[in-house]
Structure 1
Amino acid sequence: MTMPRTLYLFCSAAPPVFDVAGVIEAAQADGWDVCLGLTPTAARWLDGSLDGLAALTGHPVRFDYKLPGQPDVWPEPDLILFAPATFNSVNAWALGLTNSFVVGVVAEGIGKGIPIVAMPCVNAAHVRHPAFERSVETLREAGVTVLYGDEDGFVPNQPGEGRPEGYPWHLALTAAARVLRVTHAR
């Protein structure tokens, strides 16, 4: 019997986060042991669902750093998927600003060589800010697979045109499996 692969699924506060239970179930059906991490705002948005999400994954949902000396409650990840990743999270990550748990883990994950896939969820006005493209390029140069800007990634909506049902979660999960296969083939 093969051991399940551990996926850290990290989410920022963007409307597709409300579909995270279905994403967890899809990842589990593909053989992943899922640990869910949220930005503080995403945790606030999902506050009424956190216990159910912990039961679904079998792990506590994390949205804050543990205290020094506390044991880690999650297994080590085989891969981290950060989706949806907001404008703020992408830019903070690229700059190394680790004031939130999930951004701190992915920033450290780059240095640890953990395979990371990220898919932004930003509107077209945000991506016109010059920092965003630089941040995406910085993360790609650091080895992060960023699903943005082509047929295999997220295409921004116009401001106020949110279509969370159109967020391509399936592309993120497919990319996670592909990146893990490529990483283990090396």
Structure 2
Amino acid sequence: MTAQPFLYVVVCAAGIAGETHKLITAAQEQGWGVGVIATPQGLGFLDAEAIEAQTGYPIRSAWRSPGEPRPLPPADAIAVAPATFNTVNKWAAGIADTLALGILCEAYGMEIPTVVLPYVNTAMAAHPAYGRSLDQLRKMGVLFGSYEPHRPKAGGGADRFRWEEALELLDGKIAGSSGR
């Protein structure tokens, strides 16, 4: 009998981050254990008490102290949702100045399947660094969702953001997870 696969959901500071519970619910319905890692700014977009009750784990946002126990099991896969312009660019550049970015940078060397559901506006997506970053991460094997950037200052396209797409992208990527 194999252990329950474990998914890290990395949450960035985007207006739709408050809907992260949708991805957690979908993952749990598919048999995943879930832990949430938030960027320091993303933490403010979450109902921490509700997320921790739903997952059974504390939300991680800061490095743990030496000797402090690991609060989450090791990740079998990672979903970055929603992913911001800032996180995508820093990650592609190898900048690990937050716990979330450190985990993402390390995931490549650990060969942890990673998917990203970006949530950016068209003005940010037009910046040349963003396209280069997407290309770099794709070369690293990172899979991206299909969300198209929304117009700036228009409230975003939350109705078009498909949280479950993260799980669809992971389908068949996890060894020994029967269907994932």
Please, what TM-score do these two structures have when normalized by structure 2? 0.92
CA offset at residue 71 of structure 1? 1.8
What is the RMSD computed on CA atoms of the aligned residues? 1.9
Which string of whole-angstrom CA distances, capped at 9 and with x for unpartnered residues, describes residues 110-158 of structure 1? 01111111121111011110000100111111111122xxxxx110111
Q: Which runs of no fewer than 5 residues in structure 2 stay unpaired?
A: none
Q: Which runs of no fewer than 5 residues in structure 1 stay unpaired?
A: 148-152
The residue matched to 2:18 in structure 1 has which SS? helix
* Conservation of the 8 A alpha-carbon contact between 2:14 and 2:45: no
Identity, % of aligned pairs?
35
Which string of whole-angstrom CA distances, capped at 9 and with x for unpartnered residues, describes residues 77-118 of structure 1? 110011111000000000111111111101001011111111
Please, what TM-score do these two structures have when normalized by structure 1? 0.89
Alignment pair present for 1:171 and 2:165:
yes
AA partner of residue 152 (structure 2): P
* Conservation of the 8 A alpha-carbon contact between 1:119 and 1:172: yes
AA partner of residue 142 (structure 1): M
CA–CA separation in structure 2 for the residues paired with 1:107 and 1:163: 28
The residue matched to 2:20 in structure 1 has which SS? helix
Aligned residue number for residue 12 of structure 2: 12
Aligned residue number for residue 70 of structure 2: 72
Q: Which one has a larger percent helix, Structure 1 or Structure 2?
A: 1
Q: Which residues in structure 2 correspond to 1:34-113 (within 5 Å)? A: 34-46=34-46, 49-113=47-111
* Conservation of the 8 A alpha-carbon contact between 1:16 and 1:165: no
CA–CA separation in structure 1 for the residues paired with 2:121 and 2:36: 24
CA offset at residue 182 of structure 1? 9.9
